[in-house]
Amino acid sequence: MTSNRRIDWCELDGDVRVHGARGTVTLVGAPRAEEWRVRPYPRKVDPNAMRHVTNITVRSTTTLPGAAEEEECAIKHSVPALLFSDRGYTGNYFHAYTDVILPLFLTAKRYGGEVQFLVSDMQMWWVGKFLPVFKSLSNYDLVDLAADNRTRCFQHVQVGLTCHADFSIDPLRAPNGYSMVDFTRHMRGVYGLPRGLAVPAAGARPRLLLIARASTRRFVNADEIVRAAQKVGFEVVVSEGTHEVAPFAELANTCDAMLGVHGAGLTNMVFLPTGGVVIQVVPLGGLEFVAGYFRTPSRDMGLRYLEYRIAPAESTLTEQYPSDHPIFTDPDGVKSKGWDSLKQVYLDKQDVRLDLKRFRPLLKKAIAHIRANKLQ
């Protein structure tokens, strides 16, 4: 059993029997009988995330294999199994990656496809959305545990995915020294993306992808931002993305830089070519701590990270509240009331109007970095 602040996971070796419908994983013929409950999703201290994640009973028995009280194997597998949940916050694009897809890569990549995925709480729409990722890591169809009323036998099962930190891999602890660069390389391969390095074609302008959010945290003056970026030398593409992953992945990979207000859309940095640039605009409200979800990971992916923290005058909150309101004078007090309080004000009610005189130097830094890239 291994545990960290995000998740508990358990590895079992020997005669391991999984009964999906009952949610049990049993090691038969162990030196001693023990039992644990494991919820295989990496948000263990967040009750809201975990409320729909099924508890898996992990146990060992001293019963010898073949004893009458042990159910016989309906299916014997010659490959190991990984058991995980796809529930929690996976409806959010960022959480889909940081809570399942990245940990799955970290845990499964070393098996070269010879591993069976067992999914608790399966959401078919979600599995379908990311099916190319699952197929890239396993040569076998996913098993919907809740619908599987048979006993499957394995020689090795891991309940819960290995997970280091949010949207992060520590190569010193990873199998085979995997890193975030390896993860982005793998994801580009999943979707057949051709550009591995952010070097514009001869005579072509570097491309900037401006992520245009449809509702909250929008760029109010997006047209002005486009013109400013074009003036410093970028070709600009504006897109919010769609439900389908592949089209937006393909678009992101054609670009050399990505610009967006803090939000799940920035997760698409995984498809940027190495050496590209990520510009994260941090809204008002002391949100530097959530900006960290993209700050360190982008650097670990081999991208240049630039951060722009807006001034009060660049926030549309100034149009909704007087200047002496606590949301301006005491953001820590707003945050102290909990995540819902912070989210309601600073994430859900706020749009951004960039001061282009202040912002233009970052655009110049971004394009200078890209133009300095050389083919290797």
The model's pLDDT over 258-305, given as tens digits with 9 standing for 90+, comes to 999 999 999 999 999 999 999 999 999 988 889 999 999 999 999 999
Same domain, 166 and 219: no
| Domain with 216 in it | 207-372
% the chain with pLDDT above 70: 98
On whether residue 283 sits in a domain, the answer given is yes
Give the whole-angstrom CA distance, residue 85 versus residue 87: 6
**What's the pLDDT at 65?**
66
Assess whether 83 and 150 both reside in one domain. yes
**pLDDT attached to residue 67:** 61
Is 68's pLDDT higher than 60?
Answer: no
Residue 375 has pLDDT above 70, yes or no: no
Within 8 A by CB and 6+ apart from 157, the residues are: 11, 12, 16, 18, 25, 80, 81, 82, 83, 118
Residue 243's pLDDT is: 78
Assigned domain for 330 exists: yes
CATH number at residue 364: 3.40.50
pLDDT classification of 241: cutoffs 50, 70, 90: confident
Structural domain contains residue 152: yes
Q: Do residue 169 and residue 211 come from a single domain?
A: no
Instruction: Give the chain's end-to-end CA distance (angstroms, integer).
Output: 43
DSSP three-state, residue 261: strand
Q: Are residues 215 and 360 in the same domain?
A: yes
Instruction: Say if residue 106 is in the same domain as residue 234.
Output: no
The residue among 155, 160, 156, 123 whose CA lies nearest residue 142 is 123
- 98, two tokens: 């940081």
In a domain, residue 37? The reply is yes
pLDDT digits (tens, 9 = 90+) for 160-212: 999 999 999 999 999 999 999 999 999 999 999 999 999 988 888 999 999 98
Asked whether residue 182 is assigned to any structural domain, the reply reads: no
Whether residue 213 sits in one domain with residue 140: no
* 82 and 142 within one domain: yes
Q: What is the CA radius of gyration of the chain?
A: 23
265 and 357 together in one domain: yes
User: Is 65 among the domain residues?
Assistant: yes
Residues 171 and 299 in one domain: no
- What pLDDT does residue 69 have? 54
Q: Is residue 188 part of a domain?
A: no
Number of domains in the chain: 2
Confidence of residue 338 (pLDDT cuts 50, 70, 90): confident
**Are residues 157 and 216 both part of a single domain?**
no
Q: Are 24 and 124 in the same domain?
A: yes
Residue at 180 is within a domain: no
Q: CB neighbours of 322 closer than 8 A, spacing ≥ 6?
A: none
pLDDT at 358 over 60: yes
C-alpha angle 98/132/105, rounded to 5°? 40
pLDDT at 59: 95
Asked whether residue 311 falls in the same domain as residue 368, the answer is: yes
- Give CA–CA dist 295/376, Å, rounded: 25
Residue 129 has pLDDT above 70, yes or no: yes
Q: Which of 27-41, 64-78, 201-215, 359-373 has the lowest mean pLDDT?
A: 64-78
